Structure 1
Amino acid sequence: MEAAAAGRGLDLAGPLRDLLPPVDFCCAYGSTLTHARPDATSMVDYILGVADPLQWHSENLARNPTHYSSWMARRGPESVTWLADRVGVGVYFNPFVEWGDKRIKYGVVAMKDLATDILTWDQFYLSGRLQKPVRVLVDNWDIRKVNTVNLKMAAAASLLLLPEEFTEYDLYAKICSLSYMGDIRMLFAEDKYKVKKIVDGSFQPFQSMYRPLIHEYICEGILKMSDYRQQKAFKQDCGVSATNELFSSLPRMIQRRLQGRFTSNSTEIPTHIPTRTLVPSKEVAAASVRTALRRRVMVSSARQAACGLLAAGGMVAARYLGKKMSKALSTRCLTFF
């Protein structure tokens, strides 16, 4: 994880600790990191990792009851954590929290659930956010360590989805797009140019995060580098050996999909190698990655959207959804005209 270029008003680490109960991990993410001067309606988004969400919400409800919708505050911390785990993907968000002249949104997740998603992509929700530049405010060595695996998996998946020749910008745009593949919000409630804006606003932080991996792939012979105009360009080895090297570093949830596909035809894959799927071609690997991520993101985004709507209550939910749809509509209108 690397810190993105900080916008004005983002240095909230000290005061945030005064506002909320203690956390084990905290990072800011989202569009406020890519704009030097966020507009007055922008929210600073946070992920908070805590050891025990039930205990944390209990303390936070006593300290900050107005951060929660009135009906969730009445039901207490058990309902908060039940909603996050059973309806959502383990994260509970409090949006539109007014704090001085700032507006923040923070999502609370158990540290073990955060680490699991980063390593396995089982939900591919928070792991996708940490593949992009974030600003770490409360660091955690365990999360930093497992996220190095997350970054390598993101780079490998993106290389499988990219053509033989591509630029450094193309690579970061593909990495950024992974967690939006299949996201239901992209249909009506997100900026059409979200990926481009993130990469344009965070290109150098992306370089800090991924250039060591790029160098590693060059040393392994998977990539060859050249210059294209004013940015780096690459040509990748699309052979079976290089494809299997990349595919073998992906999460088991993607590899299992391909293994299941070949189970019905045992002549296509050796059954005596249970720990590594052999991919017959880059096209097959790319199709498996694309299908697996789209399905996982679609389910996770739908579950978390439902959790958010239930948690926020009618008026707050309508306000949040209206803000998202207004931003999405503005980008589509600009395209039309």
Structure 2
Amino acid sequence: MLRLSENRLHLLFKCHTNHPTVIKRLLSTHIKEENSSLEDAGIISNGTIYERKHSHFDGIAKDSDLELLEKGIRKSDEMTSNFTNYMYKFQRLPPNYGSNQLITVDKELQRELDGVLASFNAPCRFAFGYGSGVFEQAGYSKNDSKPQIDIILGVTYPSHFHSINMRQNSQHYSSLKYFGSEFVSKFQQIGAGVYFNPFANINGHDVKYGVISMETLLKDIATWNTFYLAGRLQKPVKILKNDLRVQYWNQLNLKAAATLAKHYTLEKNNNKFDEFQFYKEIAALSYAGDIRYKLGGENPHKVNNIVTKNFERFQEYYKPIYKEVVLNNSFYLPKGFTLQNTQKLLLSRISKSSALQTIKGVFTAGITKSIKYAWAKKLKSFKKN
């Protein structure tokens, strides 16, 4: 007989498994129903939520039960990877699923971010703030000028968004605005599909905001086709407007990042696990092959600075994922990715998307703002060397 932890059993219920034999055997032999007043939880399988009652496990399982359980977890990981309908519209998610993504910030910053988002007349479905303007990074002093606030806006119809926003904030756009919103939305699709307006003055703050279609955003989070915003969302961000589809797929995006980071950490440390190194590996994923690093446009110590100043935020952001992947050995990567081919695939995709975005930025920002942005990046790189 083996003692099976409640965490391990809870993981089985959380997974997207279709192994009724495992569940039925464990339930009939070792589980007792608790009070019916307890809150329902759920299992997501191919976009459907199945309800269940919270249960109490007596902690005893046979070898065969444990083996079936492990097979069930592996099968559930495989099923999750095979579910790729990233446009599926979730009506709701199980309680607390993805709640780790909803990081809090101090009230003053929250008001500033909410004010920036509220300033747009054009509609958006999802928004998040990121970067050193939202989360402090090591290596910066109080004497440094306040960094830009970086925001991403996920919209349903980019052309409609740009049409309204051009009328309201014409000064945010380069000369591309004279070609009209339809042209701008098509130009947006080049590279990673994000249209950036840097150095926009909003409520007295310098803001760089990027516009992306929800379909493009969800596809990247679910499939890593460009790894542009998927990589960004693997580091702590501040959600300003939530969307259940993003919350669902980003939870898997975090799990995939943790899967790789665990592998790389053990590989580089003689099979010894180090939590700080684990988060550094996560933060480094999106910078592999980034053309800005090759051109010296990014601080070479950026990864270490991000994790050093935000270690506790990483812990909060990855709390349930850490338990699943590091402690319970759950494994997940998007379809088509393996531990053997991921590094090569990401290097290729990041190099391509970052290069196209950098070139595109010259046109979307305009020459003056592009030079200003590049110089600001270069100065930060010099200071931190």
For the aligned pair, the TM-score class normalised by the smaller chain equals: 0.7 to 0.9
Worse overlay, 33-42 or 110-119: 33-42
Match of residue 251, structure 1, among 330, 334, 344: 334
Report deviation, 1:33: 2.4
C-alpha distance 15-297 of structure 1, shift in aligned 2 (>3 A): closer
Aligned residues between the structures: 275
Is 1:293 equivalent to 2:376 in the alignment?
Answer: no
* 8 Å Cα contact 2:120/2:165 also seen in 1: no
Residues 103 and 317 in structure 2, CA contact (< 8 A), matched pair in contact too: no
Structure 1 CA distance, aligned partners of 2:367 and 2:226? 26
Q: In 1, distance between residues paired with 2:107 and 2:344?
A: 36
Give CA-to-partner distance per residue, 1:170-209, whole Å, 9 cap, x none. 1111001000011011121011111112112221121112
Q: 1:33 to 1:206 in 2, by over 3 A?
A: same
Larger mean CA deviation between 149-158 and 159-168 belongs to 159-168
Work out the CA distance in 2 between the residues paired with 1:195 and 1:4.
22
Length-normalised TM-score, structure 2: 0.67
| Residue in structure 2 matched with residue 91 of structure 1 by the alignment | 194
Check conservation: 1:25, 1:49, Cα contact below 8 A. yes
Mapping 1:34-183, distance limit 5 Å: 34-35=135-136, 39-69=144-174, 71-85=175-189, 87-163=190-266, 164-183=271-290
Measure, in 2, the Cα distance between the counterparts of 1:165 and 1:33: 33
Could you say if the C-alpha distance between residues 301 and 135 of structure 1 is closer, same or farther in structure 2, counting changes exceeding 3 Å? same
Residues 298 and 48 of structure 1: CA distance in aligned 2, closer, same or farther (over 3 Å): same
The 5 Å alignment of 1:198-277 reads 198-217=306-325, 220=328, 222=329, 246=331, 249-255=332-338
C-alpha distance in 2 between matches for 1:41 and 1:151: 29
Question: Bigger relative contact order, structure 1 or 2, given CA contacts below 8 A and separation 6+?
Answer: 1
Percent of aligned pairs with the same residue?
A: 35
Show CA shifts across 1:130-169 (max 9, x none): 1111111111111111111101111111122222113111
Opposite residue 154 of structure 1, the aligned amino acid is A
Counterpart pick for 1:3 among 77, 82, 103: 103
Q: Is 1:193 paired with 2:301? A: yes
1:10–1:44 contact (8 Å) kept in structure 2? no
What does residue 28 of structure 1 align with? 129
Post-superposition Cα deviations, 1:224-282, rounded to whole Å, max 9, x if no partner, equal xxxxxxxxxxxxxxxxxxxxx73xx2123434xxxxxxxxxxxxxxxxxxxxxxxxxxx
| Matching residue of 1:232 | none
- Give 1:7 deviation, angstroms: 8.8
Q: Secondary structure at the match of 2:235?
A: coil
TM-score (norm 1): 0.76
Aligned partner of 1:250: which letter?
A: L
Q: Corresponding residue for 1:278?
A: none
What letter is aligned with 1:46? I
2: CA distance, partners of 1:320 / 1:10: 25
SS in 1 for 2:119: helix
Shift of 1:112: 1.2
8 Å CA contact 2:258–2:325 kept in 1: the answer is: no
1:18 aligns with 2:122: no
Q: 1:217 to 1:126 in 2, by over 3 A?
A: closer
Runs of 4+ deviating beyond 6 Å: none
For 2:169, give the aligned amino acid.
Answer: N
The aligned residue for residue 234 of structure 1 is none
Segments of structure 2 that go 5 or more residues without pairing to the other structure are 1-100
